[in-house]
A and B are shown apart, each in its own frame.
Chain A
Amino acid sequence: MRYVVAGLHAAGRSACMELRKADPSAEIIGVDPSPEPVYSRPLISYALSGEMSAEAMTVAGEDFWTGLGVALVREKAVRLEPDRARLTLASGKKLSYDRLLLACGAKARPAGVGGIMAREICYFRGRRDLSEIMARVRTGGVAAVLGGGLVGFKLTMGLLARGMTVHLIVSSPRPLSLNVDEHVGAWVGERLRDTAGVTLATNTSVTAVEPGTARPLKLSLSTGNVLEVDLVAAGKGVIPETEWLADSGLERDDGILADRRLRTSDERVFAAGDLAQAPDMVSGERRINAVWPVAVEQGRIAALNMAGVKTPYAGTLAQNAIPVFGSRMISVGMVSPAQTRDCDAVVTGGPRETYLKLVFREDRLVGAVGLDAPPRLGELAFAVRRRLRRRDIPDEWLDNPGNAAPLCAPGASLRQNARIW
């Protein structure tokens, strides 16, 4: 059996590990264009803020792959012919497979800004983007960050830590509007406004980037103002790397459509990670949740199915955890105001200034968001998976989320592992 894994980051790496476990004698070939050792992409924000060195981002060196018995091909895959089970590489070499995993991930969404200097906009996706930004960082300089999502937020904090003044330009009325609810979004907005060195501009977008006079770049804003900056960085979300698959005949939407076993429309080809559009756990619609734990889990499930172990995938679930101004912000499932219009919410706090909101739709838990709450969103994510009802969550849990026993404790609501006494 020959397995080919295209893309060796979160999803591809976990797939290789699981394939080796499931099939010790299989031939596994990893295809990835990057000549550098595999690193953990989300860590670039920690490297930007100086919390860790760029070298420490490496998670899988050469010896990891040899130890696993994965043959590496440092090339980009450019064409896929599913009916012939053949992958064409950039050098023209052809690679046949018995099972193929597409885990090529996604790339940064273009900021969609005009102007002759629009090419100067930096993105924040990989190590190359990190070094481009680092080359433009000037202590005491001015930076503009476009996009009020998690990436925009991390860029802002990172550039601030590097001694720059940052203008965070957000087109929506609040930062993090897609990731958290109004309360947490407003709190973050307030803290950003209070932070020296950060200017938050909401309901604003950049229309053009042109050469500046005092500083290298001049931004024209939708409000009519002009801003001169040293550096523009954008965090506007991601788009899956699927153009090279346009003529493959695989079903595509935003990403590659994958079924409940992460198979694409061709039964020998599987998809995992940021390019896989798999069923969502809450809504049931196929969507992409481009986050690390989802990618790793999908890689593992896809690998099991590739190896012939029929494994259903529970579905993707949006989830995020980031430190915000010394507080820990966590969100899971459906929490943004746009998604939760017809939902009920239960807000609970623990001791001190904590906030934890549980979102229910038709009596079922569909999401939760917390700020400095006890770190038990994992439990709630688990409860979302098990479609827990409002009445299944005991009052003592809601009264005291800091000390309550987990929902899956014997005798509690998630009696899935109950024992006979």
Chain B
Amino acid sequence: MLKKTVIVRPELCVGCMQCMIRCAQAHSRSKILASAIREDILAKPRIHIGVGPEHKPFPNKCRHCEPAPCQEACMPWAIRSDIAEGLKIVDPARCIGCGMCAMACPYYVIRFYRDKDAPERPAVAVKCDGCHERVAAGGVPACVEACKTGALTFEDVNLYLKEGTNRLANAAYGVRA
């Protein structure tokens, strides 16, 4: 079970797309923006700003479901849950780019691009890996670091759920002073 994860508050998103840029940068070879844009295989963002209801921006990223439909659909077992706890991570070396995972994903968060870790394949599945390396080093995911409005935060799941419970209680009984 995930302890801390990226919490998305779409109502706070202004659609600046900085999370997409920082995400791509964090998944580039050099991890420096100025040189990342010159790499032969361009790193792609794993978070996307979709056009939501009433044309409002909607930050859309992998939820790391459990059980994960993409993992069930994956024929070569390329989506692994043993790389980082609670995260479903694509192993580009095993991915054959068949598209089954994207077909199983209800959230449209798996895209297909060339990847620096599997340069010989025309396209492999590219999705959020929870920035597990940054988190293991004590950091926060790149998209969270980029977000200036609080639409993306890195929080303890249980505390976030508790906050939701409080909101529900306030909505039901009225906010008490």
Contact = CB atoms under 8 A, between A and B. Distances in A.
Interface of A: 14, 40, 42-43, 46, 51-52, 56-57, 59, 292-293, 296-297, 300, 319-323, 326, 328, 330, 332, 374-379, 381-382, 394, 396, 400, 403-406, 408-412, 419-421
A321 B102 CA distance: 9
Nearest to A385: B106
Nearest to B73: A293
> B-side binding surface: helix, strand, loop or mixed?
mixed
A374 B108 contact: yes
Contacts of B60: 405-406, 409
B73 A376 contact: no
Nearest to B63: A417
Contacts of A42: 75
27 contacts: A42-B75, A56-B76, A56-B94, A292-B75, A293-B104, A297-B72, A300-B72, A321-B99, A323-B97, A328-B112, A330-B99, A330-B102, A375-B99, A375-B102, A376-B102, A378-B69, A378-B107, A379-B108, A394-B53, A403-B51, A409-B52, A409-B53, A409-B58, A409-B60, A410-B10, A412-B52, A420-B164
A17 B115 CA distance: 30
Given A40-B77, A379-B107, A404 B50 contact: yes
Contacts of B3: none
Given A379-B106, A405-B51, A40 B76 contact: yes
Given A293-B73, A382-B106, A394-B53, 13 more contacts: A42-B75, A57-B76, A319-B104, A323-B99, A330-B103, A378-B106, A378-B108, A405-B51, A405-B60, A409-B58, A411-B53, A412-B52, A420-B167
Contacts of A14: 72
B111 interface: yes
Contacts, number: 128
B174 interface: no
Contacts of B76: 40, 43, 52, 56-57, 59
A405 B106 contact: no
A421 B11 contact: yes
Contacts of B168: 420
Which of B69, B104, B108, B110 counts the most chain A CB atoms within 10 A? Answer: B108
> A-side binding surface: helix, strand, loop or mixed?
mixed
Nearest to B10: A410
B53 A412 contact: yes
Interface residues on B, range: 35 or more
Which of A14, A319, A408, A410 counts the most chain B CB atoms within 10 A? Answer: A410
Nearest to A299: B72
A304 to B, nearest CB: 10
Interface of B: 10-11, 48, 50-56, 58, 60, 67, 69-70, 72-73, 75-77, 94, 96-108, 110-112, 122, 164, 167-168, 171
Contacts of B104: 293, 319, 378, 381
A398 to B, nearest CB: 12
Given A319-B103, A409-B52, A292 B171 contact: no
Nearest to B57: A405
A194 B77 CA distance: 34
A378 B102 CA distance: 6
Considering the complex of A and B, which 4 residue pairs feature the smallest CB-CB distances, nearest first? A405-B50, A375-B102, A405-B58, A382-B106
Nearest to A321: B99
A43 B122 CA distance: 17
Which of B50, B73, B103, B111 counts the most chain A CB atoms within 10 A? Answer: B103
B98 A403 contact: no
B72 A419 contact: no
Contacts of B55: 396
Given A405-B58, A412-B52, A293 B107 contact: no
Contacts of A403: 48, 50-51
